[in-house]
Structure 1
């Protein structure tokens, strides 16, 4: 019965000749009154079979995540926490190399609000999301939910709206049936289980390993290293027997681990396992992380010290004299507070990096860090004779701190690059990113060779063999980075700099795929190098003008930065020699990105006559153009047309992995163009 209902909905939604307008998610809304000022908004969706609707927590760099916008929130109500979702499925996307999170078959979003304006009569909410199957669709849904004026909950059904016309095509009977079906389960539970991918396990293992090494690095800083002999000496002197000293030292180590793991747990609990991932991939949080790491790096380089109030340390230290397990726990807490100026930036950086993995990564990271920090205290207490083998404290401890500062500064630009990639600002392209890293690591090499001194450095009459060796390694790494500006792949740091395509020249300064700049074709006005070094236009008018000048047909490509199947077509179909030859020589490629977030100039913004929606971004403009002219809203979507905008092939083409069929479709349109000449 449910399948029949869904088929009926699809039939009605695609009526009136707009069969190309797809709307795979059918929504209803409900509002529940919790108190005089608190309400729960519930959004339910039935998703067509085999379609995926992407969650709020799908990371940037993959398909577009669900974005929830409360249009009339200011001065009227506040949100209580982040919107909650029904169960989702997570799977690794080998095209974008991210763990994407999505709904299948059904979805439910719940958001609790508290009114600050008791006279408010309605809440206006926009959903921006992406659904994918063989094609991907970027959808904007507008909801207006009435505030109930009595004690009972008010249910309002949001009918399916035709994306192109804005008209509701569902009868009241169908809407009521869908509403009944959606409200039959509370909350909606998606049948598909969460996928436990090997990539997720490797991600947690890498976080643990990095955190473990970071713990050892923190151990070698001026705030922590001198405390090893002091602490071990305390345990050996205060303990009546060797066995008791060893036991107390082990308890001390476990207490250190406990404190840092609790910190990781609190971060995960406060923000939520999934929310951490969403925050870390948000543009503004990437910028905040960048600023935070620059502050941490400046502290390590000697600009200032990040310290907790001395009163905290004094109060905790006084409690450490109580003895027993409680006293040992306070001793461990005192270590964490006193050493914060050195461990704080490292812990902060680890939490930032762990947040990018989401889930329990902050807990795993803090366990790895604290384990490395605690082990030496336990081991030296068991074997006090080892203390004689420890190097003496000195200027080398500050050198470790400075090296960590340079590493944090380099890592900071990774987060700034993430924000730049999402916004497509092209401020921090690959060449600029590599130039910054070359400058950072080159300066670090000079520091290690003693050519540069910083505020807290001791006088340096000579450099040790260890420092020289580390300097040579850093210098070698710096030299390794330099060819990257000219197009070297730099596999050692893959994933840190922007991709090759996000650069001033995708194949390095002065080069193209075909060879040097001298032999490369000069790009026309408004063109850039697209997939497989194809000349492509992102501006429709400039592309049409160029097609007229060279008298070639146009391949109009409606695509998206976050469109999975668009990338598949480019990687597996366009790369075929037969197809690539046609695209290089016989058509002019115009690629219009419907998810381009760049804002249009105010004078170019408008309200669509077709959909009634505001067109404020470049992506909105091309999406509206596709809907208005071709009555379609899916990507990839290909059209072979002449320079007057007339379609040359019998029909448009979408995702089609059959290379021969795609070639025949292209050839049909090109032959039609030649016949019309």
Structure 2
């Protein structure tokens, strides 16, 4: 049940963060249309009516649907207990039920339409309106959350007025997000030509998955299976060529299985191409990932074992023996994937975490990583079938495989801290400042080195009386890494080899003159930066960034730190850094609903909501880092640029200054 709740929570949070960040071109209309009315029964008693019209094949879930499945609808009555009281619970119209095989519960839901009513008794004679917020989930092939605000006018003058998620509010605030940009064609041309820059990480992610697969081969769950499986195919087949063909097909099935594991993530991708990228900016998802990786790490340390249900492996194994042929071989490969989960699961979790932090479409990244992982696992089965004499050269299984698992446990803890750091940065908790983060990584590196040198052991493993070459080399590299981190901690120098992973240099325990990258002067409010640009005549560098944006940190620490680039940013530009993942809540008077040109609306509750909508509405972009050059009178000076190299970025800044001179000199 706990596993089910965690998985369901992750799915919901993924949908929630993405629904609030759908791009302008992404559609994303709510499948539920709402209407409401109010019925006066006595001078002080009213009945509030809510009606939902649901698109075909979509399901809206009842208040009373089973726990562990889709999320139930909830109504929040503002001001209840102060100016009015509720009479009984919210009642609802006829529902349907069906068994959900994924969550293994019977769900209760509405199809096509739903009607809710709530009776209230008013205690304040001056009360003119009642506001109610509805929070719900609606599902078809995928599930997406929704919210709606109703305003019930008790004097009858505005019984059909609705604001909130469906209608724009505060026109003056909404209008302030839209700029009167000039020379927009330059920006649009850049987008069509892919001027964002940056390197393609696809091969790197495939290589990362392949490396993970090679590491998994060395674990005690997989390594002993190689000679056993290859011998089975070569000895049980009618001839050697058939045995080789079966072993190669077996390896191909392993690749296919891990490829298929990545396909569910493309279901999210069908709603929004950036859906999984929202992992990096959601506090609760980062905390979930932190806890999951800690659990993975201690399983590698040998304190417990994470396994899939034994019945799965038994059924797959029995079916493979009973069916035979190609299907039987596929089921044998599936059995290997299931029984080796206690070793491969944490590595696959690390792969998911790495793709979530990488640039680009996460579902595609994960598929490439999974293909690389499956290929690395499959290669030995095919190669040893082709060259069976190599089997005699394989090292014997032994304690070295436990060492591999413990090393992976330390790496999992390091990655867990990265996700905790993401949550800390976005939430502004101040728990993992840069110095604290580096100190914890130093302790992990020293701990790993100490383990490899035999200073201590985990679980039931035997104490080491001597240190071999491999362990000695690993310990040396761990301690060198600890020294490198220590140098960065003491000196405050940028750690360019790790750019993007530790918190930014301005997120520090020390007194800092600014909270901007590299000590630069920057503005975090667009209007204040624009006013400064108009007073000085300098062009604006608009920096759309994020607290948990790895590539933003890389650009700041590797590109902005270049002396010439730093000088240009410091002396020639007005830097405006807008954090699109900032979860600081805006004052209630500054919260509003923004309508995009497409007609889609977005509720602006936080600082990040405002700058996210600002980026999308004016520049049609949703990714970070994203850099735009503007003149003080809002001319776009250059094509926008994203993650790129130092030379390209420096030339881009210089080109922007020339464009600013031309704009300033134009009649």
- 2:447 counterpart residue number: 443
- 1:385 counterpart residue number: 389
- 2:212 counterpart residue number: 214
Larger RCO, structure (CA 8 Å, separation 6 or more): 2
Displacement of 1:290 in angstroms is 1.3
Question: Do the aligned partners of 1:449 and 1:471 also contact (CA within 8 Å) in 2?
Answer: yes
Displacement of 1:266 in angstroms is 2.4
Displacement of 1:661 in angstroms is 13
Distance 1:493 1:606, change over 3 A: closer
Distance across 2 between alignment mates of 1:477 and 1:200: 27
Question: Do the aligned partners of 2:446 and 2:478 also contact (CA within 8 Å) in 1?
Answer: yes
**1:113-262 pair list within 5 angstroms:** 117-119=115-117, 163-164=171-172, 202-262=200-260
- 2:365 counterpart residue number: 361
User: Is 1:467 aligned to residue 478 of structure 2?
Assistant: no
Distance across 1 between alignment mates of 2:191 and 2:536: 44
Question: Do the aligned partners of 1:274 and 1:359 also contact (CA within 8 Å) in 2?
Answer: no
Distance across 2 between alignment mates of 1:267 and 1:125: 28
Give a deviation string over 1:174-221, Cα, whole Å, max 9, x none.
xxxxxxxxxxxxxxxx99987768978722211110110000100000
Aligned-residue CA RMSD in angstroms?
5.7
- 2:299 counterpart residue number: 299
Match of 2:502 among 497, 510, 524: 497
- 2:434 counterpart residue number: 430
Distance across 2 between alignment mates of 1:194 and 1:255: 39
SS at 2:370 equivalent: helix
Distance 1:285 1:358, change over 3 A: same
Distance across 2 between alignment mates of 1:409 and 1:321: 40
Unaligned runs of 5+ in 1: 1-23, 42-69, 78-111, 127-140, 147-153, 169-189, 506-521, 540-552, 584-588, 624-632, 636-651, 664-677
Question: Do the aligned partners of 1:223 and 1:339 also contact (CA within 8 Å) in 2?
Answer: yes
Distance across 1 between alignment mates of 2:269 and 2:657: 47
The alignment's TM-score, normalised by the length of structure 1, stands at 0.56
SS at 2:54 equivalent: strand
Give a deviation string over 1:555-580, Cα, whole Å, max 9, x none.
9xx9998479xx99xx8999668985
Distance across 1 between alignment mates of 2:378 and 2:28: 54
Match of 1:488 among 489, 493, 518: 493
Give a deviation string over 1:337-369, Cα, whole Å, max 9, x none.
111111111122212322445141221111100
Question: Do the aligned partners of 2:319 and 2:331 also contact (CA within 8 Å) in 1?
Answer: yes
- 2:284 counterpart residue number: 284
Question: Do the aligned partners of 1:399 and 1:457 also contact (CA within 8 Å) in 2?
Answer: no
- 1:81 counterpart residue number: none
SS at 2:201 equivalent: helix
Distance 1:339 1:167, change over 3 A: closer
- 2:179 counterpart residue number: none
Distance across 1 between alignment mates of 2:573 and 2:411: 47
Distance across 2 between alignment mates of 1:330 and 1:279: 33
SS at 1:164 equivalent: helix
Displacement of 1:306 in angstroms is 0.1
- 1:348 counterpart residue number: 349
Displacement of 1:261 in angstroms is 0.7
The alignment's TM-score, normalised by the length of structure 2, stands at 0.57
Unaligned runs of 5+ in 2: 1-23, 36-50, 57-72, 78-89, 93-109, 119-129, 136-146, 153-159, 177-187, 526-534, 547-551, 595-602, 612-616, 620-631, 638-655, 662-667
- 1:330 counterpart residue number: 331
Question: Do the aligned partners of 2:53 and 2:114 also contact (CA within 8 Å) in 1?
Answer: no
Question: Do the aligned partners of 2:262 and 2:363 also contact (CA within 8 Å) in 1?
Answer: no
- 1:598 counterpart residue number: 584
- 1:39 counterpart residue number: 54
Distance across 1 between alignment mates of 2:267 and 2:33: 27
SS at 2:275 equivalent: helix
- 1:419 counterpart residue number: 423
SS at 1:202 equivalent: coil
More off after superposition, 310-319 vs 252-261: 310-319
Displacement of 1:610 in angstroms is 12
Displacement of 1:113 in angstroms is 9.6
- 1:181 counterpart residue number: none
Distance across 2 between alignment mates of 1:538 and 1:200: 25
Displacement of 1:428 in angstroms is 1.4
Question: Do the aligned partners of 1:398 and 1:456 also contact (CA within 8 Å) in 2?
Answer: no
- 2:640 counterpart residue number: none
